[in-house]
Chain A
Amino acid sequence: GQQLNQSPQSMFIQEGEDVSMNCTSSSIFNTWLWYKQDPGEGPVLLIALYKAGELTSNGRLTAQFGITRKDSFLNISASIPSDVGIYFCAGPTDSWGKFQFGAGTQVVVTP
């Protein structure tokens, strides 16, 4: 079946540092979504990408839709303590809106 790999699994960084994570798929996607989950809450949409090569920013977050359509990247610049959480990528697996989620990247920011 379709595989969605997200890396790294976790990151421990100092406040002010930049963070990068990525997802790769065994299949071509026409949409990539990035979510963040805070402890005890549901995932919240950060960025949606719809076109190969697309680069989209949301504040200090920047995400890119890979040219091959099989990967996507999320960068967080100048991390702050509230960036702590689990970040998920997701891509569609059918035309009905079924999405597959990556395993998540846990980000820990230390002062």
Chain B
Amino acid sequence: DAGVIQSPRHEVTEMGQEVTLRCKPISGHNSLFWYRQTMMRGLELLIYFNNNVPIDDSGMPEDRFSAKMPNASFSTLKIQPSEPRDSAVYFCASSPWTGAVQYFGPGTRLTVT
């Protein structure tokens, strides 16, 4: 079975540009999580969805960040405008039911110059 799929795997963009990261959770999973990982702050939860509904977005750092989940098989994390401090690895994870273990995607390494 396919795991969590993220695209792109690498993204290099200039400051001020819009960035869209994509995630396809494991089929049948009803919870989806977006994380950001940096050396300084470790693994931080940005936002998570249950049955396509955002439950907690308190981890989203600024209004420049937004996330959507239009259906059970697709989610996006958008940064507009991007800044150099947004450079990090962004992970998407999904779980089969509320409170269950999470399965991570391979991540998107974002570099903003």
Contacts and interface: CB of A to CB of B under 8 A. Distances in A.
Given A42-B104, A42-B106, A48-B101, A96 B45 contact: no
B12 interface: no
Contact of A97 (B42, B91, B99, B104): B99
Given A42-B91, A92-B99, A98 B45 contact: yes
Contacts, number: 59
A95 B104 contact: no
A101 interface: yes
Interface in B54-96: 55-56, 91, 93, 95
Given A35-B104, A43-B104, A92-B99, 18 more contacts: A42-B104, A42-B107, A48-B101, A88-B43, A94-B56, A96-B31, A96-B48, A96-B50, A96-B56, A97-B31, A97-B48, A97-B50, A97-B97, A97-B99, A97-B100, A99-B45, A100-B45, A104-B42
Interface of B: 4, 31, 33, 42-43, 45, 48, 50, 55-56, 91, 93, 95, 97-107
Interface of A: 31, 33, 35, 40-45, 48, 88, 92, 94-104
A95 B48 CA distance: 13
A59 B43 CA distance: 26
Nearest to A47: B101
Q: Which secondary structure dominates where chain A touches chain B?
A: loop
Nearest to B106: A42
Given A41-B107, A88-B43, A103-B42, A96 B98 contact: yes
